[in-house]
Structure 1
């Protein structure tokens, strides 16, 4: 009887081990696929605050494109927005696109007002009401920053809170790379 239970335990451990191995390989493959598809600016549309669909390819291609995935209630996002507002002049040479999964228009508008994002001519805030961002960019954490050169090739991306100096430096380097 003990051999029977040993066999069952070994079989269960083998099945669990196989499943976990499969999951790790699947997650790795998915991550690599997302990395590959984001090397060039993906074809993705989000909604403006007025509800109009806006495609990421609609923005000025003579400027680097900085995509920031944020949430108005995220403290790290608030810090980034404050930094961008305080260093607005340093972002004049690029297009800022801020995408949020938040479905509260009032909260998003308050966020934009609090951090003076309305005052930036080169900043567009978009709503991701259908969670397209994560489908296109993968399991992005909030906040995340993706920086594309004028040829729309990915220069770099940051996961988590990012200082404005790092974003500015990366956008300044877009003119010498690729």
Structure 2
């Protein structure tokens, strides 16, 4: 009898658990439809917040880890496209974000020679990016319109050919 009651109790709780998970997922999706408020830090230790974005440019955000093989491959693909097609990314505001130490982020920047004036490297020292932007893997690319509305989100390695239609 006690076992039967236990199963009934579990069965009654399941819909509640699933509905709260669904609600949480919907909240994350809704939050990432527009760039959320945040505070990250430039490599010169100055703050960078949502209001620092250029309102005249499409925003390209790459969430990465410098030791991640997939992130390194993504960086090589991006750099190759920038060399072969210099105009493809020049009108974007490109933000590269990692939670790593600033020295590791700077090493990644230098290794791939991402020194263009439209690229900013940021540190997520409080580990808030993944939750605020609704991503769960490295690398992740988010493309936002000039008015900060989400255009497209890519998670995992993404060929540049798949990205290009969304940044024009």
Aligning the two structures, in what range does the TM-score lie when normalised by the shorter sequence? 0.7 to 0.9
Task: Give the secondary structure class of the aligned counterpart of 1:91.
Answer: coil
Using the size of structure 2 for normalisation, the TM-score is 0.88
State which drifts further: 84-93 or 132-141. 132-141
Q: Which has the higher contact order (CA 8 A, sep 6+)?
A: 2
Is 1:100 aligned with 2:98? yes
* Residues 98-150 of structure 1, C-alpha deviations (whole Å, 9 max, x = no match): 11122x22222211111111x22211110111012123123532221111111
* Residues 50-109 of structure 1, C-alpha deviations (whole Å, 9 max, x = no match): 22110133122111001111111111111111111111222112111011122x222222
If each structure's helix is expressed as a fraction of its own residues, which one has the higher value? 1
Gap runs ≥5 in structure 2: none
Using the size of structure 1 for normalisation, the TM-score is 0.83
Q: What is the distance in 2 between the residues matched to 1:99 and 1:79?
A: 16
Is 1:148 aligned with 2:122? no
Q: Which runs of 4+ in 1 moved over 4 A?
A: none
Determine the structure 2 residue equivalent to 1:70: 64
* Residues 26-51 of structure 1, C-alpha deviations (whole Å, 9 max, x = no match): 22111111111221221212111122
Q: What is the distance in 1 between the residues matched to 2:10 and 2:67?
A: 39
Q: What is the distance in 2 between the residues matched to 1:91 and 1:157?
A: 17
RMSD in angstroms over aligned alpha carbons? Answer: 1.7
Select the structure of larger CA radius of gyration: 1
- Counterparts in 2 of 1:19 and 1:147: CA distance versus 1, 3 Å: same
